[in-house]
Chain A
Amino acid sequence: MNTTALDVPVVARDIRKTFRRATGEEVTALGGVTFEARRGTLTALVGPDGAGKTTLIRLVAGLMTPDSGSLDVLGLDVAAHPQAVQDRIGYMPQRFGLYEDLSVQENLDLYADMHGVGGDERDERYPRLMEMTALGRFRSRLAGHLSGGMKQKLGLACTLIRSPDLLLLDEPTVGVDPLSRRELWEIVLHLVREEGLSVLMSTSYLDEAERCDHVIVMYAGTVLAQGPPADVTATAKGRVFVADAPGRETARAFQARLLAAPGIVDAVPQAGRVRFVRGGTPEPGPTPDDGPLAGTSVTAVPPRFEDGFMTLLHASTERAHTAERMVLRGVSADAGRDLVVEVNDLVRMFGPFTAVDHISFSVRRGEVFGLLGPNGAGKTTTFRMLCGLLPPTGGSLQVAETDLRTARASARQRIGYVAQKFSLYGLLSVRENLEFFASAYGLRGRRRAERIAWALEQFELTSLARLPSAQLPGGYKQRLAMAAALLHEPEILFLDEATSGADPMARREFWGRINSLAEQGVTVIITTHFMEEAEYCDRLVIMDAGRLLAEGTPAAVRRHARTPSGLEGTMEDAFITVVEDSRRNAATGGGAA
């Protein structure tokens, strides 16, 4: 083995891979990818869904063979010698296959045996893994009974049962709440910085890419750019600004308007203002009187990785931002009372376990209201009670002026619900799904036909109407689920983790739709893991362990943030501070009692 092979554990040259769908069409997953991963560094494959990240990692793990191109892993041609490579790597797939009916310890033992890690080595390794993952207390618990974040940490521990020559991580933090995400990152960074491990990971979280040594920006099976993350960030240098909404316009409406404007690459809400990235050549500064920016105060800010990423993506694709302005009918913005959801002292018990612990909040008409919290905080339980799917144990619950404890059926007519996993019928086509939901909501005849036509048009599903919904790409599944929930023109739309696993582009499109719904008087209540999405909400609450910890506008909630540098904290910092403080109080309070 020569030195180059040791220094560069992964060398990929012009890798191509196509798949054939069940329907017969060919899909190009990788269209000529060339990259290297260096020893002792953290290399990240960054890109939206369908960029080819998972396929690439599976090829490196020897679980698939490329159609063409050469791929050397640890100095070996992986297509020819997959087993030799698998003897030396650690691989954590996106859905780590923990045996859920085995305990934490039994899962670890299994992987230790698979890797030939014996008694002495285990005695040395296990305590360190336990310390790293804080799973020590749960060794006898069945893996199936762990939370999502704990499962990911156990998966990582199983992969790290011995020091691999190369560690492959496929979206290790997807679907994991911010606290667990931070813990996982600390582990990975420790491995690279302190133990000199070589790591190749994939991620669709752009803030994670910023922390890697080397990034490979992928889109639709090709590499857009590669290098240190700072290089990617630098592409947006001099193009990033923060602006206040002009006059009485809301930040949300201003953001939507900017995103649709020509020459603007990206626009997102940030602490009551709008952060945007300009396209074209960098200029000293935008002129306040130019187009959509008329009447605003604009400040230049240093770029983030995400800004650079969006600039790259914008330059290489024709994927223009559509306005996503949807036209609803029938919803009158001013009818009825102002408060559409009133929750007072709500309690839900499951046996001795309190899932929702005396929470109170209210939501005004036309508001976008966020429910944030780590896994197991009680968000989904609260949601199900609001939708009348689960009776509360105590407290009062008024939704759309109806008491849900007495008149659930009539309230349900006035709400739409998009469940976490999109309740679609995979074998039915897009149109058939819509027809089914229309019937389920009691729509008939002409109105039914009109509403289905509306849904297909507004959600740009017309060309896909005949495709079975299981074959829709992720973003389109979410559109269809939302379309189905809006068929009966509800006053309130509930979305449970609707953007989980969606890429940055799809998320912007999604929020565009949410904005226009809210502007037309629809109340939107949403749960999310993505802290930056909380910026789109008018108001939000943070929940943990069934209790309400913080409430207010995004700007107000951000002020809770405690950062080591004392700089203005992000929404994620605020979230972590609030949850950690509450957990610490609960622990000390429990000790005193």
Chain B
Amino acid sequence: MKPGRPGGTRGKLRRIVALARKETYQLTRDPSSIAIGMVMPALLVLLFGYGLSLDVTNVPVAIAVEDPSPIAMDLAAGFRLSRYFDAVLVPSMAQAEQLMLDDEVKGIVRIRPDFSRHMAIGDAEVQVILHGTDANTARIVQGYAQGAVAQWTARRAAEGYTVTSPPVVVESRLWFNEANDSRYFLVPGLIVLVMTLIGAFLTALVIAREWERGTFEALFATPVHTDEILVGKTIPYFVMGMIGLALCIVAGVFLFHVPLRGSIWILVGVSMLYLLVALGTGLWVSSVTKSQFVASQLALLLTFLPAMMLSGFLFDLRSMPAAVRAITYILPARYYVALLQTLFLAGDIWGVIIPNAAVLAVMAAGLLVMCRAATRKRLA
């Protein structure tokens, strides 16, 4: 007697479409969702692309030229011309040390009074003293200083001076990131953050919001099924996540000139898997807590912060203590970062792609099942 029995496939499809449409209206009309889902990713792209860089340039150093010979001055000029250094010349070590104590400079390059004499006999030395408070920077500056000296030696050789070459020459070469540009690995990392933000953080609010506002009670007493509610909620956020992904890829490739060496389709495919994991986490947290505040805090703690700190995009996983490293194995972000870095900088390396993608697929399936179990059409 009634057309379109509530249980039929057509009814089911219609309800899912209606719920997804409703969710989209709510998403687009809520300024805070727009801020988190659209403005934040754009800000992150700009911040990571332009503001944040792990490369060290313009390091202030003092060059104590205690040997006023032309050859010493030439070496000092080599430092002054380097873009990595912002060098000041001082005539004595005492002055250089004072600058270091005042934290005006991060390092001292000392050219001793007997530098030109030693140059002549072929065992000249340059002393490099570094401000060790920031060990990472110190190590990088040390490398730069060595490089600067080596370059200077090479230049002199090219200019026809006789140079006694050092016994061992270190020739380093960086693979995959030839320019040693940190943007190359920051942009893939950025994709993880954006996907986590949209996938988990935004969706953590959506089920809890319905509980808090009492909108579920009326909805539950209709022919709707729980899986329809979940699918209806997933669709708009999934679309939004894919838009975020597109934004990041376009910005990375065209704005920051990060190479994309793997297949874009594989990239999109594994991103969909990660997005499902993130959505599953968000919806699950939301269903279990039923409180927007708790859910958002939990989502931040469970997804966003680990994605930032423990996924291996900012800090190297191997240098972490074993216990912390063990935790990273349960974090989906870890697998996604490995996939992203491989796909962007190395190419379609199946040995990396298949195992990591498999882990993400299993996690996605598991979380969606957990969501289904956590959302029941029952009050209290």
Interface assignment of A102: CB less than 8 Å from any CB of chain B? yes
Closest B residue to A20 by beta carbon equals B380
- Give the total of B residues in contact with A, Cβ under 8 Å: 37
Partner of B215, one of A65, A87, A90, A99: A99
A158 touches B221 (CB 8 A): no
* Beta-carbon contact of B223 and A86 below 8 Å: yes
Render B359-380 as a binary contact track against A, CB cut-off 8 A, 1 for contact.
0000000000000000001111
Contact string against B for A residues 97-135, beta-carbon threshold 8 Å, 1 for contact and 0 otherwise: 111111000100111011110100100000000000000
Q: Judge if A159 is at the interface, Cβ distance under 8 Å.
A: yes
Nearest Cβ distance between residue B130 and chain A, in whole angstroms?
Answer: 54
Does any Cβ of A come within 8 Å of B218's Cβ? yes
> What is the predominant secondary structure among interface residues of chain B facing chain A?
helix
A50 within 8 A of B: no
Interchain CB contact under 8 A, A110 and B11: no
A93 and B18 form a contact (CB under 8 A): no
Q: Does A583 contact B (CB under 8 A)?
A: no
> B30 interface residue, CB < 8 Å from A?
yes
Is there an interface contact between B213 and A116, defined as CB atoms closer than 8 Å?
Answer: no
**B214 CB within 8 Å of chain A:** yes
Q: Are B215 and A111 closer than 8 Å at their CB atoms?
A: no
Known: A95-B217, A110-B22. A63 touches B222 (CB 8 A): no
At the interface, yes or no: B315 with Cβ under 8 Å from chain A? no
B223 touches A82 (CB 8 A): no
> Which of A92, A110, A158 neighbours the largest number of chain B CB atoms within 10 Å of its CB?
A110
Let me know if A61 is at the binding interface, CB within 8 A.
yes
CB pair B223–A114 under 8 Å, yes or no, is yes
**In the complex, chain A residues whose CB is within 8 Å of the CB of B378:** 63-65
Q: How far is the CB of B37 from chain A (nearest CB, A)?
A: 15
Residues of A within 8 A of B70 (CB): none
Q: Is the CB of B221 within 8 A of A95?
A: no
Alpha-carbon distance between A93 and B220 when the two chains are bound, in angstroms: 11
Q: For residue B379, which residue of chain A has the nearest CB?
A: A63
- Return the chain A residue nearest B380 by Cβ: A64
In the complex, chain B residues whose CB is within 8 Å of the CB of A99: 22, 26, 215
Q: A91 CA to B221 CA in the complex, in Å?
A: 6
Which residue in chain B gives the minimum CB-CB distance to A120?
B3
In the bound assembly, the distance between CA atoms of A111 and B29 in angstroms comes to: 20
Task: Return A266 CB to nearest CB of chain B, in Å.
Answer: 34
Name the B residues within 8 Å of A121 (CB-CB).
Answer: 3
Residues of A within 8 A of B217 (CB): 63, 91, 93, 95, 97
Determine whether the beta carbon of B213 is less than 8 Å from that of A97: yes
Complex alpha-carbon distance, A58 and B214, angstroms: 13
**Given the interface contacts A99-B22, A101-B29, A102-B26, does A89 sit within 8 Å of B210 by beta carbon?**
no
Question: Are the C-beta atoms of A115 and B218 separated by less than 8 Å?
Answer: no
Q: Which residues of A contact B380 (CB under 8 A)?
A: 19, 64
Q: Given the known A-B contacts A63-B379, A115-B6, are A110 and B18 also in contact in the complex, defined by CB atoms under 8 Å?
A: yes
For chain A, residues 371 to 405, give those with C-beta under 8 angstroms from any C-beta of chain B. Answer: none
Given contacts A87-B6, A114-B224, A118-B4, contact A93 B218 (CB under 8 A): yes
Contact assessment for A116 and B218 in the assembled complex, using a CB-CB cutoff below 8 Å: no
- A63, A82, A95, A118: most-surrounded residue (chain B CB, <10 A): A63
**Max chain A C-beta neighbours (<10 A), residue from B17, B21, B220:** B220
CB pair A115 B379 closer than 8 Å: no
Which of chain B's residues has its CB closest to A109's CB?
A: B18
Nearest-neighbor residue (CB-CB) of B11 within chain A: A116
State how many angstroms separate the Cβ of B24 from the closest Cβ of chain A.
Answer: 11
11 of the cross-chain contacts (CB-CB < 8 Å) are A62-B221, A93-B218, A93-B221, A97-B210, A97-B216, A99-B215, A106-B25, A114-B15, A114-B18, A118-B4, A121-B3
Residues of B in contact with A (beta carbons under 8 Å apart): 2-7, 10-11, 14-15, 17-19, 21-22, 25-26, 29-30, 210, 213-225, 377-380
What are the 10 tightest A-B residue pairs by CB atom distance, in nearest-first order? Answer: A97-B215, A113-B18, A91-B221, A116-B4, A114-B222, A93-B217, A95-B214, A97-B218, A116-B11, A87-B223
